Each structure stands twice: as structure tokens, then as C-alpha cells.
Chain A
Amino acid sequence: MLKYLIEKEFKQIRRNSFIPRIIVGMTLMMMLVMPWAANQEVRNIKLCVVDNDKSSLSGRLVHKLASSDYFITRSTAATYSEAMKEIEAGRADMILEIGNGFEEDFMSNQGGRAMISVNAVNAAKGGLGAVYLNTMLSDFAAEIAVQSGPSSLPFSCSAAAYNQAVSQTPDNGQTRLSGMPAAMPASITVVEQTSGQGYLSSPVSVQTLSASFTIIPHYKFNPRLDYRIFMVPALMVMLLTLLCGFLPALNIVSEKEKGTIEQINVSPVGRISFVLAKLIPYWIMGFVVFSIVLMLAWWVYGLVPAGSLLTIYIFAATYILVVSAIGLVVSNYSGTIQQAMFLIFFFLIIFILMSGLFTPIRSMPEWAQAITIVNPLKYFMKVMRMIYLMGSSFGDLNGEYLSLCIFALAMGSWAVLSYRKRS
């Protein structure tokens, strides 16, 4: 009997002209477009310079900034308030104001004054921008110092900025540096081992004067700090979640609206076989889509999992069951397609945004981290990234697998129990 029921489901899916199109469209979009968009790297920061000094030194600084990859020095303004207008109009992201007597102070070792003002509405972008610019300044200072001979004093450009940043965020409890950590005073040599894209990669290799140590940053698993490697495995998870969670949610309820469910209800089909017949097609579909997606990741991005493919499939097989079962539960509880849609949207958006896909889970407050324990997406997301990038083995991921199995069992039985033949 189950065989015929599954055949019926497949016929329904095939006959519906919209579902196959959605599947293909979503897959292509998720794998070919998203990885380019889903990039939190901070680049192309629009910088506006206010040069109050107009000396040859400040001119050199402006020139150096203009040739950097991170900044687009699009505008220069005569006064700070003019520069603020640029920020308000969205034509600039940050302002560098070079203080009066910059060259003089610099040459007489007083320390050239400058002010960096960042639009921090997006805190991460603002923080990283400030760090980049700060690094550029200390870089510049080092260059000049080296050129002007060994007699020049040691410099601690960023250390001063660092301390200032600490003292500048006085607000109670909330005091954070937020992306202004780049304190790399003269006494420390930063050696870049791998050519990263992070700000530490702009080598601030300042010569040492006295007792010192070297800081060597090393980025494991993703030495070039490529954002795409980070996002692609997670986007696969998102695709599976959308397809295998969304479509089943609309399935039973649309039979209810059409009235065809009555025919099932009067037939001798049992609860379990009914739910299984609904689950299995999505499970097969999810498997096929997932395999295609794995191939695409390999072809397009040259991305192969560092861990075992088998482990990935075992997890995927369990995960698809979990999301499809969630979809069916939602479908069982809804009277209309509209209700089902709102419920599933509500849950999926929360699941997706709280999964660590875009923002790290450890940055969440404690109570929010506690909520993520019941988010199946979080486990699979973590597992995919760990297998793809770190090459973790099944043994490392026992806990996650157990959690997913519990979810599959719980949601599966819930889907069976919540299906009632009587309305």
C-alpha cells in the first residue's frame, strides 16, 4: 500500500508545474548567486579625508590611502562638518581628519594628530574599518620613520589609539572595543605566515628596539580567510531546510483545502503509512538535490569536504527527516494554506537566523544560546562546516548526531500523532 501512496505523491509533485521550477530555481540561486552575496568581508570603504594640515607629509598620507584596496578615497572635504554631510548623505563611510600641524608634530616626535570618525550603524563594518585605517596609519608612520633614519624614536601609533579606544567607550557594562584591537606597537613584530585577507595581513612589520616578542597569527582550516568556504556548506543546509521544510508544510494542508484528504480519511490507510508516504518523497528529493549541490560546490568552487562524504550523507539523511517532519506537523495543525505558510515562515526564519549561519552563536546572550539547543538547523550547520573545513570525523560529532536522531524521532512521532482522520 505504501508503494502506491508514494507513487501518488510523486505524481502530484510532478504534475504541479510550480514545484519542480522552484526546486531548480532555488538550487541554482543558493549555489551560484548566494555565495557571492553572502560575504561579510569589509571592503570598498568610502573614505572622506579632511586635510587641515596641507603639508607634504599629509599629502603623502592621502596618496597612500588612495592607493589602498580597502578604501575608496572618493572625496575630500574642506571642513569636518562638510565631511559629516557626506556621511549623512551616504557618500562616505568614514572620515579621516588630519590635524593642524600634523607634519610638524610628527617630525618633532610629538605625535601627529588625526581623528578617525566611522559610521558605526553597522557595528562590525565600522569596527573593522577603523581597524584597517588604524593599521594603515601605523604602517605609514613606520615607513616614514624608516626613511628618516635610525635616529627616530620608537612609535606606538596604534597603542595610543588602542588605549584611547578603551577609554572612549565608557558606557557601563557595555564597554567593548568592538573591532579596534589592532594595537601593534613598535616592540612587537607581526609576522604574517599565510597571505590572509584579514587586516593583520597588511604586514605591520616594525623593527624591534629592545626586549620583544613576535606575534604570529595563523588561521587554521581557512588560511586565506575566504568567506565563500565558510558560507557554501551553510547555504547547502539552508537550501535543504527551505525545500524539505517548506514543501511538506504546504502538502497536507493543501489536500485539506482541496478536499482530497477526505478520500484518504475514508480509506483504510493508517496514520503511520500516511505520514511515511508523505515523508519519503521529500526524503528522496532532498537526497537528489543534496547530491547535486555537493557536485556544484565541487565544480564551481572547487570545494570538497575535508572529512568523509559518508558522514555528510548520514547526517543529511537524518536532517531531511527532521525538517520534513516539522513541515508535516505544521501542516497537520493548520486549517488553511495561509496558516501553514505563516507558521512555517515563523519557525524557519527563527531557525535560520539563530543557527549561526550569519552571526556566531557564541556572540549571542546566554538565554538566546539556550534557545538554540532546540534548533536542529544549528547542529547540521555546525556539522557541515566542521566536516567541510575541519575534516572532523563521525566520532567528533557523536553528540550532534544523537541530537539530530532525537529530533527526528520526536518530530516524526509528533507528525504521526497529530494527523487525525476526524476533523
Chain B
Amino acid sequence: MKQMLAFIRKEAFHILRDRRSMMILLIMPVIQILLFGSALSTEVRNVKVAVVDPSKDEVTAVIKERIKASEYFEIVGNLDSPEMINDAFNEGRIDLAVVFSSGFAEGLVRGDAAVQLIADGTDPNQASLLTGYASGILSSYASEQLGGMLAGALIRPEIKMLYNPQTKSSYNFVPGVLGLIMMLICAMMTSVSIVREKETGTMEVLLSSPMKPIYIILAKAVPYIILSLLNFISIMVLSVTVLDVPVRGSFLLLLGISLLFILLCLSLGLLISTLVKTQMAAILASGMGLMTPVMLLSGLIFPIASMPGILQGVSTLVPARWYIQAVRKVMIQGVGFQFVSLEVLILSLMTLVLLTLALRKFNMRLN
């Protein structure tokens, strides 16, 4: 035990000695969570609108006022002809063009008035959302004009946004970024620090000591576990205080799941370290091989349900997917253990498999 403690202290010194890495490790998660918790958002906002209004009558004036008054749109200019729309789009000056037919007010009576909404379709979701908002404004104007005629509605759905009534994007991103950071710190740090000892030759010295190899590895993991927990706590504090993202479920459960995930990441790091020879390779393997799947296949940004079947299958192998899913459930939805038991089971199984593989591959001797 005493030996073990000495080894842990040695590892801790390794980390503490490198002030710069230490600072990055503690500050990076803080900056990232603040930045992404508040900056990443898919909300429709600041849409630049150009209006083509050949008739310039009182009806179009009212509608334009409505558009201007909405919090989503700002009218950046009036274009004289539809031909000018192309240029405005090409130069990136506008996101949406509202084109009224000529003689709009009279057309309204005749029944041939039309409004064309030309959206920049490059970003499909944004395009359909913002044309939706715009037609919402137009139709609420129309329904007011029709007044009493609309009294008898056929279906009146009441819409409830569960868990996130203000529809903030940060509710979705905070659990995701948490998973990303844990992966980054635990898996990469351990793999690099073990390979580093191999590369510099100090591993040989360690292995010739009376400590069993398994304890050497354990001692390496302990400081990183502590570091990850510190990060976990700082992220939690920030999300609750600064980003207003609630912890609705049990904090202990959240902590437990996170510990499990940390363990999993450490095993993954250990496995990588047994497979590669140089630090460079360890970084590239854990960096590119782990980060990209986490960013793309874990549901952090892209909904898994929309992916083709094969990729959905692949995503079940990405540990972060299950972790992020569980954190969302516990933290945002506030459900109890029985609802995340599947995720916990999968994470435990993955940890077990990875750890066994890693320990098997871990060479007692250096060749």
C-alpha cells in the first residue's frame, strides 16, 4: 500500500510539474462549457430579410411592420426588383426575401394576391424554420383580418414543451460537452502518459521495481480520476449557476454514472497505450479516432434517430453515446435509476471488456 501511494505521488508530481498542461486541463473544460453552453444554439435569430414590394400599399406596410417587430427578423432593405435578390444572396447579405405580388391590396380582394418567401436553403433546418416563422406572421395577420370567421376551429392542439419549456439549446449541449471533455482528458491523458514512459525508457525502470505491473497502471490512473472529478464538479457548478441548466435528478446517480464513464475512458486509454508505440501515434489515435466519433456519432449534435441504419449500429459502439444519453435523462429529465439502467449496464459491460482486453495486452516485459 505504501508503495502504491508512492507511485501515485510520483504520477501526481508528473502532472503538477507541468504547469502549463495543468492549467489547460483545468481551465479548458471551464471555457468550453461556458462558450458552448451559451454560444452553440440552433435557435432562429437575427434573420436578415429583404423585401420586394412593388405595390407599396397599406396592407404590405402593415405586414412589413409585423415582420420588423418580430424578434427573429430584421429588415435590412427594400429591393426594387426580384432580379436583385440573387445578388443579395450571393454576397451573403440576406437570409430571406419576402416578395409581394404587385397590386397586393387589390389582389387580396380579387383573391390572387401572393407572397413568395425565398429562403437561403443552404442550411435546411434553418431554412424550413425561418420560412415557418415568416408564414406564421403572415397567417396570423390573415386570420386577424378574417376575424370571427375562424371561431370554430376543428382541432385545437395544446402544445407542451416537456423538460425545456424555454427551448434552450444549452439543455442539449451541456451533457454532450461533458462527455466530450471526459473523453478528451481521461482517454488521451492516460494513453499518452503511459506511452511517454515507454518512449523515454522510464517504463523499464518502473517494471523492474518490486511493484506488480497492474499496480503501476492503477497508480497511473488515480491522479487522472481525481482530475476528472474536479472537472466534473466545476462543469456542474458552472452549468447550474451560469448557464441555468438544472440538475433535476439525483446528483449521486449522476456522479456514479460519471465515475463509471471515467473508468471506461481510462480503460480505453490504457488499451490504446498498449497498441501504439509512440506518443504521436497515441495522440492521433485517441485524438482523431475518439474525438470525431464522439462529436458525430454520440448524438452530441446530430440526432441518432435520423442516421442510416448502419451508422445507428456503429453509434451503439460509441461509449459516449450512452453516457450522454444517461446524463440527459438524469440531469435534464430528472428520471430515476430504473430509467437509465440500460445505459449503465451497457457502460459497465464496455468497461469490463475494454479493461480485460487492455490488461491482457499489457506486456509485463518490454520487447
Within 8 A of A (CB), among B1-36: 18, 20-21, 24-25, 28, 31-32, 35-36
Please choose the segment from A2-10, A170-178, A264-272, A274-282 that sits at the chain B interface, where 4 or more of its residues have CB less than 8 A away.
A170-178
The contact string, 1 if C-beta is below 8 Å from chain B, for chain A 199-226, is 1100000001111111111111111011
Complex: chain B residue closest to A219, CB-CB? B121
Within 8 A of B (CB), among A333-373: 334-339, 341-343, 345-346, 349-350, 353-354, 358-360, 362-365, 368, 371
Cβ of B274 < 8 Å from any Cβ of A? Answer: no
- The answer to whether B32 and A162 touch across the interface, beta carbons within 8 angstroms, is no
Q: How far does the alpha carbon of A111 sit from the alpha carbon of B158 in the complex, in Å?
A: 12
Contact of B117 among A93, A124, A159, A217 (CB under 8 A): A217
Complex: chain A residue closest to B152, CB-CB? A109
Cβ of A33 < 8 Å from any Cβ of B? Answer: yes
- The answer to whether B150 and A41 touch across the interface, beta carbons within 8 angstroms, is no
Complex: chain A residue closest to B28, CB-CB? A346
Cβ of B102 < 8 Å from any Cβ of A? Answer: no
Contacts of B46 in A (CB 8 A): 362-363
Cβ of B278 < 8 Å from any Cβ of A? Answer: yes
Contact of A88 among B43, B101, B169, B333 (CB under 8 A): B333
Contacts of A123 in B (CB 8 A): 42-43, 164, 167-169, 171-172
Cβ of A119 < 8 Å from any Cβ of B? Answer: yes
> With A128-B129, A159-B139, A171-B166 known to touch, is A111 a contact of B119 (CB < 8 Å)?
no
Q: How far does the alpha carbon of A155 sit from the alpha carbon of B166 in the complex, in Å?
A: 29
Contact of B45 among A199, A254, A363 (CB under 8 A): A363
Cβ of B127 < 8 Å from any Cβ of A? Answer: yes
Complex: chain A residue closest to B153, CB-CB? A111
Contacts of B220 in A (CB 8 A): none
Please choose the segment from A132-140, A291-299, A312-320, A402-410 that sits at the chain B interface, where 4 or more of its residues have CB less than 8 A away.
A132-140
Q: How far does the alpha carbon of A222 sit from the alpha carbon of B121 in the complex, in Å?
A: 5
Contact of A159 among B40, B47, B143, B171 (CB under 8 A): B143
Q: How far is the CB of B347 from chain A (nearest CB, A)?
A: 15
- The answer to whether A176 and B159 touch across the interface, beta carbons within 8 angstroms, is no
Complex: chain A residue closest to B93, CB-CB? A396
- The answer to whether A111 and B156 touch across the interface, beta carbons within 8 angstroms, is yes
> With A89-B339, A114-B157 known to touch, is A220 a contact of B120 (CB < 8 Å)?
yes
Contacts of B121 in A (CB 8 A): 219-223, 225
Contact of A165 among B21, B154, B159, B307 (CB under 8 A): B159
> With A178-B167, A200-B128, A222-B124 known to touch, is A115 a contact of B143 (CB < 8 Å)?
no
- The answer to whether A179 and B306 touch across the interface, beta carbons within 8 angstroms, is no
Please choose the segment from B84-92, B231-239, B350-358 that sits at the chain A interface, where 4 or more of its residues have CB less than 8 A away.
B84-92
> With A219-B127, A342-B21 known to touch, is A134 a contact of B149 (CB < 8 Å)?
no
The contact string, 1 if C-beta is below 8 Å from chain A, for chain B 165-205, is 11111011000000010001000100011001000000000
- The answer to whether B283 and A116 touch across the interface, beta carbons within 8 angstroms, is no
- The answer to whether B158 and A115 touch across the interface, beta carbons within 8 angstroms, is yes
Interface size class of B (residues with CB under 8 A): 35 or more
Contacts of A130 in B (CB 8 A): 159, 161
Q: How far does the alpha carbon of A45 sit from the alpha carbon of B164 in the complex, in Å?
A: 18
Q: How far does the alpha carbon of A422 sit from the alpha carbon of B41 in the complex, in Å?
A: 46
The contact string, 1 if C-beta is below 8 Å from chain A, for chain B 135-159, is 1101110110110011111111111
Q: How far is the CB of B51 from chain A (nearest CB, A)?
A: 15
Within 8 A of B (CB), among A145-167: 145, 153-165
- The answer to whether B155 and A140 touch across the interface, beta carbons within 8 angstroms, is yes
- The answer to whether B280 and A134 touch across the interface, beta carbons within 8 angstroms, is no
- The answer to whether B159 and A161 touch across the interface, beta carbons within 8 angstroms, is yes
Contacts of B339 in A (CB 8 A): 88-90
Contacts of A141 in B (CB 8 A): 154-155
- The answer to whether B118 and A220 touch across the interface, beta carbons within 8 angstroms, is yes
The contact string, 1 if C-beta is below 8 Å from chain B, for chain A 165-203, is 100110100101111111111111010000011111000
Contacts of B132 in A (CB 8 A): 131, 179, 181-182, 198-200
- The answer to whether A216 and B281 touch across the interface, beta carbons within 8 angstroms, is no
- The answer to whether B113 and A213 touch across the interface, beta carbons within 8 angstroms, is yes
Cβ of B259 < 8 Å from any Cβ of A? Answer: no
- The answer to whether A125 and B303 touch across the interface, beta carbons within 8 angstroms, is yes
Cβ of B122 < 8 Å from any Cβ of A? Answer: yes
Contacts of B21 in A (CB 8 A): 336, 338-339, 342
Cβ of B335 < 8 Å from any Cβ of A? Answer: yes
Complex: chain A residue closest to B292, CB-CB? A29
Contact of B115 among A125, A213, A336, A393 (CB under 8 A): A213
Please choose the segment from A321-329, A383-391, A412-420 that sits at the chain B interface, where 4 or more of its residues have CB less than 8 A away.
A383-391
- The answer to whether A390 and B40 touch across the interface, beta carbons within 8 angstroms, is no
- The answer to whether A18 and B150 touch across the interface, beta carbons within 8 angstroms, is no
> With A225-B121, A396-B91 known to touch, is A134 a contact of B164 (CB < 8 Å)?
no
Q: How far does the alpha carbon of A190 sit from the alpha carbon of B88 in the complex, in Å?
A: 25
- The answer to whether A365 and B39 touch across the interface, beta carbons within 8 angstroms, is yes
Q: How far is the CB of B45 from chain A (nearest CB, A)?
A: 5
Contacts of A368 in B (CB 8 A): 35, 38-39
> With A179-B167, A220-B121, A396-B92 known to touch, is A90 a contact of B280 (CB < 8 Å)?
no
Contact of B152 among A111, A183, A362 (CB under 8 A): A111
Chain B residues close to A by CB (< 8 Å): 18, 20-21, 24-25, 28, 31-32, 35-36, 38-48, 71, 89-92, 95, 101, 104, 107-109, 111, 113-129, 131-136, 138-140, 142-143, 145-146, 149-169, 171-172, 180, 184, 188, 192-193, 196, 276, 278-281, 283-284, 287-288, 291-292, 296-297, 301-303, 305-308, 311, 315, 325, 328-329, 332-333, 335, 339
Q: List 6 A-B contacts (CB under 8 A).
A: A121-B328, A155-B154, A184-B135, A213-B113, A214-B113, A254-B280
**In the complex, the 8 A-B pairs of residues with the closest C-beta atoms, listed nearest first:** A198-B128, A219-B121, A222-B121, A178-B167, A368-B39, A181-B136, A109-B152, A181-B132
A sample of 4 more A-B contacts (CB under 8 A), given A200-B132, A215-B139, is: A114-B158, A178-B161, A181-B129, A363-B45
